Every structure is written in C-alpha cells, then in structure tokens.
Chain A
Amino acid sequence: MSGAHDILFKTLADPTRRAIFERLCREGEKTVAALTARAGVSQPVVSKHLGVLKQAGLVEGRHEGRNTHYRAQLGALTPLMDWTRQMAGFWESRFDDLEDLLKRMDQ
C-alpha cells in the first residue's frame, strides 16, 4: 500500500474526523463554529481534527475576516477510488463480449 493510501486511511479512520469530513462533502464550506455546533465535541477538538484533515490534503481553509471557512477537497480521495483500474477492468470485459459478438456475427 502506498504512502498516500496510508495517510488517507489513517486520517479517515477516526469516526469524529470522518464525520466532519463527510459533513463538509455533503454541505459545503463551513466555519469551525458551525462544525462544532453538531460535532458533539469542543471547538479545540474540532480544530485539531481539521488540522489533521488539512495535512492529509482532505480539506482546505479560506480566511475571511476573523473566520476560517473549511471545505472538502474531493480530489484528495482519488488514490482511494482507483478509478483508472476500475474503468480499465470494465472495458476489458466489454471487449471480451465484443469479441464474442463478432464471432456470432459471422454465422
């Protein structure tokens, strides 16, 4: 398993941290205060989780006045999705069926 996978899995293994990340994915940009309101933990704990998420590249902060708005960076999930391998497998099996069809078209 690559280092990128390790960091993503470790970061998302904590349920509170994962819940914060999922909420940012679902609901878009949020301040620490807005996240704390429903996180079930104190604001310093939320801030700490956001710091870890930020280090993993999963969230990004944007300063506006005295507040920082956090948003999810879905692109960071790409290594987990392994899209390329999935799609290549899909097309290989479609090509198998295509070859079968071409054989039948002979008859």
Chain B
Amino acid sequence: MTDAATETRTVVVEREIPYPPEKIWRALTQPHLIAEWLMKGDFAPIMGRQFRLSGDWGGVDCEVLAIEPHETLSYTWNYAHDDPAYALESVVTFTLTPTATGTLLRMEQVGFRPDQKQAYQGARLGWRQHLENLEKTVAGLG
C-alpha cells in the first residue's frame, strides 16, 4: 500500500475544560505539574529543547518543535524499541482555544511507522519551515 493516507496514523483527543488557556498552559509546561497528569520529565518551554518523559513502563524521547504561549505546544514523542513493531516516532501537538466557558483543549498525535523515516523527517521539516515563516512574519511587524 503506497496510498499517502496509509502512511501516517493520527489520534485526536479533544476536551472542553472549564478553565482559561493560561491555567492549562501552566499544566502543560511546568515540569512539576506535567508530572502530575502526564509523566515525569525535564521539560522546558524552549524551542529545540530535548527532554524525556518517564512513566512506570519506560519513557519517550521528546524535542520541542513549536511553542506559542497559551495557544500551541508541539513536541516529538519517540519510543525506542528493539522490535520495530513496537517502536514509535510521532509528533504530539496541543492546541488551546478559548471558549465562552473555558478552553477547548485538542491533542493531536501523528505517528509514523518505523519504516517511514522519510515521512517523519518531512513532517519535522514542515514544522521548522512553518515556524521560520512565522518568525519572519513577526519580525516584519516591527
């Protein structure tokens, strides 16, 4: 199967949460708070920051790909395993949208099979380019 639709697998989980984006952002970006709902790790809200999130079962290797305070946070979510069938390379993106009663929190995880390095690198490059464009736009605003 070479259809582009079969090359990636995407998981989307959305939830309306009765708190403002600023508060949820703290829970997404402060390591002692991340540890309380996701996993322990040495996250820092810096572009390119590499960190590891560890749980009882092991851990995932991450790198910050995009960060827009109170709006978007994206990092790689890679799980190394000797058996390629269990290994995973993916990108997790959190998007926060204010609503009348709080925030719509959206988590999108795009995963790539281990034999799809090319697609994975392509997606990463896509993010980088997107962010470079964003930087240029912001710089242009003076």
A residues whose Cβ falls under 8 Å from a Cβ of B = 25, 57, 74-75, 77-78, 81, 83-84, 87-88, 91-92, 94-95, 97-102, 105
Complex: A100 Cα to B37 Cα, angstroms: 8
- Whether the pair B13, A92 counts as a contact (CB closer than 8 A) is yes
- Whether the pair A81, B37 counts as a contact (CB closer than 8 A) is no
Q: Chain B at the A interface: mostly helix, strand, loop or mixed?
A: mixed
- Whether the pair A97, B36 counts as a contact (CB closer than 8 A) is yes
Q: For residue A102, which residues in chain B have a CB less than 8 angstroms away from its CB?
A: 17, 19, 23-24, 27
- Whether the pair A75, B1 counts as a contact (CB closer than 8 A) is yes
Q: For residue B19, which residues in chain A have a CB less than 8 angstroms away from its CB?
A: 102
**Contacts A95-B15, A102-B27 given: A74-B33 contact, CB under 8 Å?**
no
Since A74-B85, A91-B11, A101-B36 are in contact, a sample of 12 more A-B pairs with Cβ atoms closer than 8 Å, ordered by chain A residue number, is A57-B1, A75-B113, A77-B85, A78-B9, A78-B113, A97-B36, A98-B38, A98-B105, A101-B33, A102-B19, A102-B23, A105-B26
Residues 68-104 of chain B, each 1 if its beta carbon lies under 8 Å from chain A, else 0:
0000000000000001110010000000000000000
Whether B115 sits at the interface, judged by CB under 8 Å, is: yes
Q: For residue A98, which residues in chain B have a CB less than 8 angstroms away from its CB?
A: 17, 24, 27, 37-38, 105
Q: Chain A at the B interface: mostly helix, strand, loop or mixed?
A: helix
